Amino acid sequence: MRDETGTRWPTTEADIAPSVRAQFAQFEKHEKFVRASIATPVTAEYREHGSAEGRAAFQQSLATVTRGLPSAESRHLVAICVALYSAPFWRFFVELSAVTPLGGLPPLDKLDAISAKYGMTRLGPPMFE
């Protein structure tokens, strides 16, 4: 799957933003394949391996940033980066953008439904209505 989608992990802090853009572009290019891989239980083992590999890559690329952080905060930052770099998160943004008017905000019911689909919840009071 990695070869098919061109998955590459960032190796430095400066690589993170460009790598995410490049990876999402690859997800777009191979959308049918990526969507199928998200929905297929067989890929669960791959996702676990990819997650471990991603954690190692982000620990390396964020070493300067996390050096002074408590261990738990460092792990959280790395976990967030791995999640943001994932195909499911890309799908979340694709679906969210489909229900969001140009220059506007998504309807809260749509935001909540899409978030729930991906195991997320909106925290706190609505930031917009």
Same domain, 21 and 77: yes
Q: What is the pLDDT of residue 118?
A: 84
What does each C-alpha distance from 44 to 39, 48, 75, 103, 105 come to in angstroms? 9, 6, 22, 36, 33
Q: Tell me the C-alpha distance between 109 and 18, whole Å.
A: 32
What is the number of domains present in the chain?
Answer: 2
Q: Are residues 96 and 81 part of one domain? A: no
14 Cβ contact partners less than 8 Å away, ≥ 6 residues apart: none
The whole domain housing 129 covers 88-129
Write down the pLDDT at residue 38.
Answer: 75
Same domain, yes or no: 66 and 111? no
Confidence (pLDDT) at 4: 67
Round to the nearest angstrom and report the end-to-end CA distance of the chain.
Answer: 41
Closest CA to 20 of 95, 77, 87: 87
pLDDT of residue 1: 60
Residues 28 and 65 both lie in one domain: yes
The reported pTM is 0.72
On whether both 46 and 105 belong to a single domain, the answer is no
Query: Which residues of the chain register pLDDT less than 50?
Result: none
Distance of CA 69 to the CA centre of its chain: 22
